[in-house]
Every structure is written in structure tokens, then in C-alpha cells.
Amino acid sequence: MELSEKKLQILETAERLFATKGFAGTSVRDLAHEAGVNLAMISYYFGSKEKLMQTLFEYRSTAVQLEKVLNDESMTPLEKVDQMIENYVEKVFNQPCFHKIMVREQMRSRDSGIAEMLKDFKKKGYDFMQQLITEGQKKGDFRQDLDAQMLILTMTGTTNQLISTLDFYKYVNDEIQNLSNEEFKATMKKRIIDHLKLLFKAILTHEA
């Protein structure tokens, strides 16, 4: 799929509107107006509103390359966990709108193609975590009674929750400090990465 400049312009506007107002809550007229294009261009370029959504998912869904990290002999299991956390948070903070859309879509639980894709994502993340834990346990670094599914849930859930409510935290923290939007985002990114690393180190290595 070749993406002309105008197509990208529409896609990125759609992403922003779908994230805040939802798919059904965004009209193609709003979308066209915000993107600065004629109403008919959306059907002309993408076929339909639904297909625009599919295109957005194809455009944004990048295969997470977890295997590289897993097979890296130079890293300890805990370092691999840290790497996984950094990668995930980085991904969410680089594409906040898209991840908000994913949060919305995963509640639909329909049998669309998107639902299938989300299932795969989750399954891979969970399998990766399970392998990492097993490796760490074999080496004696990690404790024994660990729940891989719950751990993945904590990483994704905490990050998704933060990106969904970032405005709130900007409002709360601005009473003290006064940062630009970009500075604030960078601060929060660092904070959640540090927090998750500390959290995972504690739960993985701390004896019960």
C-alpha cells in the first residue's frame, strides 16, 4: 500500500479523532474538515470509513521483534525484562493515539480482523514473558511462583492507563511544576519506565 502525503494526512487525523472520540463518535465530515480535505476524498482514497480503520491498523501495526532480545546471550534475564519494558513504553508513547484506539477496540470483543490481530499480539507478549521467566528461574535469578499473564497485564495495563489519562496527570502535576507538553511527556515516560523496572525487579527477584 503506497501512502501519498494526503492519504497520510487523513490517516493521522483519523487516528487522533478515533482515539479521543471513538470510531462511531467521529463522523467522516468532522474528519474531512479537520484534515482539510473534501468529504468525498475519504471514500475516494480508502473506499469507506471502515476500510480507513483497517488501513490505519495495517499502517501502525509493526511486528514486535521479541526474538532478538530473547536470544541475546549477553543479557541477563532481568536485563531482558528491562529491555522489554523500555520497548513497550517507548512504543506506546510514540503512538499514543493508536494505542488509545487499541484500548477501545479490545473492549469490543467482536470477531473482526482487528480482534484477531489483537489476540495474536497478546498471545505473543504472554509467550515471550513466560519464556523469559522460565529462563530466569533456571538461572536461579527469579523466584518460582510467578504469574506470567498477570505480569504482562501489569506492564501493558499500567502503560495504557497512563497514556489514556495523561491529560489528568498533566493537570495534577502542573500545580507544582510548569512544563511544556513535550517536556511533560518525556518526564512521565521516564517515570513509568523507572517504576515498571523497579516493580518487576522487586517481584521477580524478591523472595516471598
Partner DNA sequence: GTTTAATTCAAACGTTTGTTTAATTTTGTC
Partner DNA sequence: GACAAAATTAAACAAACGTTTGAATTAAAC
- For a copy of itself, the closer CB: 45 or 141: 141
Q: Which is nearer to DNA, 48 or 76 (CB)?
A: 48
Locate 103 and state its grid cell.
Answer: 484500548
What is the SS3 assignment for the chain? CCCCHHHHHHHHHHHHHHHHHCCCCCCHHHHHHHHCCCCHHHHHHHCCHHHHHHHHHHHHCCCCCHHHHHHCCCCCHHHHHHHHHHHHHHHHHHCHHHHHHHHHHCCCCCCCHHHHHHHHHHHHHHHHHHHHHHHHHHCCCCCCCCCHHHHHHHHHHHHHHHHHCHHHHHHHHCCCCCCCHHHHHHHHHHHHHHHHHHHHHHHHHCCC
| Inter-residue contact 55 to 46 (CB < 8 Å) | yes
| Cell triple for 56 | 490505519
199 binds a copy of itself (CB under 8 A): yes
Q: If binding is defined by CB under 8 A, does position 172 make contact with a copy of itself?
A: yes
The answer to whether 49 contacts DNA (rule: CB under 7 A) is yes
* Binding partner of residue 104 among a copy of itself, DNA, none, CB cut-off 5 to 8 Å per kind: a copy of itself
Where does residue 36 fall: left (phi above 0), alpha (psi -120 to 50 degrees), or beta otherwise?
Answer: left
- The reply to whether 33 sits near DNA by the rule CB under 7 A is no
**Cβ 159 to a copy of itself, closest distance in Å?**
7
In the bound state with a copy of itself, the residue whose beta carbon lies nearer, of 73 and 175, is: 175
Nearest approach in angstroms of CB 41 to a copy of itself is 23
**Choosing among DNA, a copy of itself, none, which partner's interface includes residue 41 (Cβ < 5 to 8 Å by kind)?**
DNA
Give, as ranges, the residues between 21 and 50 that touch a copy of itself (CB under 8 A).
21-25
Residue among 3, 20, 21, 38 that touches DNA (CB under 7 A): 38
In this structure, what C-alpha cell is assigned to residue 198? 523497579
Residue range at the interface with a copy of itself (CB under 8 A); choices 42-50, 66-74, 130-138, 142-150: 142-150
Q: Tell me: does residue 106 bind a copy of itself (CB under 8 A).
A: yes
Residue ranges binding a copy of itself (CB under 8 A): 19-25, 100, 103-104, 106-109, 118-119, 122-123, 126, 147, 149-151, 153-154, 156-162, 164-165, 167-169, 171-172, 191-192, 194-195, 198-199, 202-203, 206, 208
